[in-house]
Amino acid sequence: MNDVATPAAGSLIGQRITKLDAPEKAAGKTRYLHDIDVPGQLHGAILRSARVHARIVRIDTSRAKALPGVHAVLTAADVPDQRPIGVAKDHLPLKADRVRSVRDEIAAVAADTEVIARAALALIDVEYDDLPVLGDAQDALAPGAPLIHPPIEGARPGAPVGLAGKADNVAMRFDYAHGDVVRGEAESDVVVEDSFELHYVTHCCMGTSGVIAEFDAKGNLQLISNTQVPFLHKREFAEYLGIDPARVRIVQPPIGGGFGSKLDIYPFEVIAVFLARATGRPVKLVYSREEEFVASPTRQPVRLTLRSGCTKDGTLTFRSVRTIHDNGAYTSWGATTPFVMMQTFSSLYRVPHCDYHTLAVYTNNPYAGSFRGYGNLQATFAVEQHMDRLADAIGMDPLALRLKNAQEPGEVSGQGMVFRSCGFRDCLQSAAERSDYVAKRRAYAAQRHEPGTLKRGIGIAAMLHVGGGAKIYPSDGCGTILKLDDFGHVTLITGASEIGQGSETVLAQLVCEELGLPIAAVTVVNNDTDITPWDVGVHASRTTFIAGNSAIGAARKAKAKILAAAAPRFDCRADDLELAGGHVVRRAGGEKLVDLPRLLRSLHFSERAELVMTTHYYEPPSVHQDKGFKGDVSAAYAWAAQVVEVEVDTATGVVRMLKVTGAHDVGRVLNRLGIEGQIEGGIVMGQGYALTENLLVDHGAVRNPNFRDYKLVTAPEIPEMDIAFIETMDGEGPRGAKGVGEAPSICIAAATANAIENATGVRITSLPFTPERVYRALRGALPPVRPVPALPAA
């Protein structure tokens, strides 16, 4: 890792600070949801469909109910009050008359043990009447294609899809435009067009999905949940059950990985609530690893056709994009990824003319959810390959083309995104110079036809992503409650969830920096909606930015209160004082006047007793986009460039990733150890997306639901990494920082594609770059990606 700034003496900012929860995790003392049992607990299990698409003719649960140790067996018939869930409200938790994918929930059991519960599932008899299977989104748009959610006779007008059905297989559509692409193409000297195929991958969290649902004697619901959005969950479950949100409590245990997989309300959570209600006992329901592969959401698979142009001097002229998203059988957050993809199409580099049209289409495949990068890996894969293609077409170096079109601070994109801080050019130049990109690209291309099967290549790609949240909900803010006790210890109560990303450590740092305290002086409370203030949840690379500003605001209020109380005692103004090293000191000279705990006790035990407790709510200055998807949706934007070097064995198709050289505009480094971990982990996730990971879905059936057959990157395959941080000191960010959680995974696949082309002269537009795919492509035997046709009008 390259240092950009040396931390100031005595400052916590920029230091390498170990995560607050690291000792407990390293010692094996952390209790994840799987480790938690509550008194009187039963174990839940779900019977899933044995068919991809079928009518449910009959369900017989009599044998399961008779099994000793079984306390409840539920089907849709047993919960007549269930209602549709999901982003589009298009599926019931327990399926009533039809199954549309192999992950569909047909029945559920609560029993004394998990073994008994799963044994009971085997005793449930289900008779099916098979229906035609739609395994391709483009085929699902064809005239006469079977309907995944056929209209329901007698449905109430305006009812959601889950209660009314639909006359076509279109789940969602997005249409965006700025400028005039016809004019842009006419002004172009070069136009290129390609189609791209982006595949299924899944999150592979070490902790599988799970929940413990319990009603107390007053009928209040408590969920011990791995959700990333506890306050949204609280509201959604209250609405679902028709009760006051004050009667729903969400408690988050330590979470064994999220990456976006825990943003929605899922059937298994509602089913656990049904079982708890039916039995009057707490119910713990945890996925097996196979269930996690089959039933948890995936990254959105996309088929994409991109048409781009530029002039002879390398000025970009237009982009025109059509995509079809395989929605799967139901709608989760994956269908909304075009919201982020269009930001890359419209605003990664200066693009004067752009249009983008997309459909999310129902099929019988697994449904897609949110996943780190949220559609940006797919969009960047196409855009950054086209940057190389355009450069080659006009005889220009790809780095020079990128630098010519890269935005500067203060620019506004065609979509209305305001780049107040922008280290884009610095990222490109830093990554290219440190990797010797320009010289190596020329040398590797010249070596393609030399003897030997091992060929080296180098590729560059850049990315743009939100770095200060995204204004999707009415509020994108976060609340903080801060308390100092009589001994100078701080309790920081934040709405921001810790899901392994290290947010609680950064928040503690920011508070300690304001109050002049060591990191050990802070305890962070962040896991109980009955205690913590509101926050919208962990997504959109927002936590450090949003929760960090909130924590700083609360700490500054506490500091002001402390210094105002101290000033009269030393016959000075509060502005003359500072907090440092656990003391009140003179700002000029640093003379220690009183230690902080003594001052706090004097306030507490004075005639007019006072406690130092503050609250703060930070709402970012971002805005909601208009109906045309234009507007400054984030408070800041993150930029990065990554250079990937590979070795391709042309005899076998094996691609080895040798080195990744990256540069990230992070605003400011807060915790160097933490941000290095984020970047390294994101690179490995991007490497898996590019080279090895592939959830094999064949006509709706998942063929590799296990770690033996789903190929994650392992330690020996991880490349050398050389990462630099560009500090642009964002004016709105906490201490100048921006969010970076999603950025490192976004451009790896695109840079890898460009590196393979540099090594072999063959461009591959579909993922992953497995040996078989690369071998076939090198021999001209890889079928071309099916182009996306003109999409039907809205």
Measured CA to CA, the distance from residue 73 to residue 270 in angstroms comes to 15
CB 15 within 8 A of CB 7: yes
Give the burial string for 547-566 (b: 16+ CB within 10 Å, else e): bbbbbbbbbbbbbebbbebb
Map residue 298 onto helix, strand or coil: strand
| Sequence letter at residue 601 | R
| Helix residue spans in 8-61 (DSSP H) | 22-26
Which backbone phi and psi does 233 adopt, to 5 degrees?
-60, -45
Closest Cα to residue 263, out of 285, 292, 230?
230
Cite the DSSP H helix spans in 567-639.
Answer: 596-604
Q: Whose structure tokens read 């559920």?
A: 108
Q: Measured between alpha carbons, how far is residue 65 from residues 457, 683, 764 in Å? A: 62, 49, 54
Q: Which of 197, 269, 732, 742 is catalytic?
A: 742
Rounded distance between C-alpha atoms, residue 529 and residue 86, angstroms: 22
Q: Does the annotation count 742 as an active-site position?
A: yes
As a whole number of angstroms, the distance between CA 509 and CA 12 comes to: 6
* Residue 81 DSSP one-character state: T
β-pair partners for 323: 304, 358
DSSP assignments along 256-273, one per residue: S--TTTTSS--HHHHHHH
> Could you give the 3-state DSSP secondary structure of residue 446?
helix
Q: Which residues contact 430 (CB under 8 A, 6 or more apart)?
A: 641, 663, 724, 726
Residue ranges with strand state E in 666-767: 697-698, 701-702, 720-726
Contacts of 55 (CB under 8 A, 6+ apart): 97, 98, 128, 129, 131
In which element (H, E) is residue 693 found?
none
C-alpha neighbours within 13 Å on the C-beta side of residue 644: 34
Q: In whole angstroms, give the CA distance from residue 259 to residue 741.
A: 9
Residue pair 381/750 in contact (Cβ under 8 Å)? The answer is yes
Residue 290 corresponds to which tokens in the numbers above?
């196979």
Catalytic residue ranges = 742
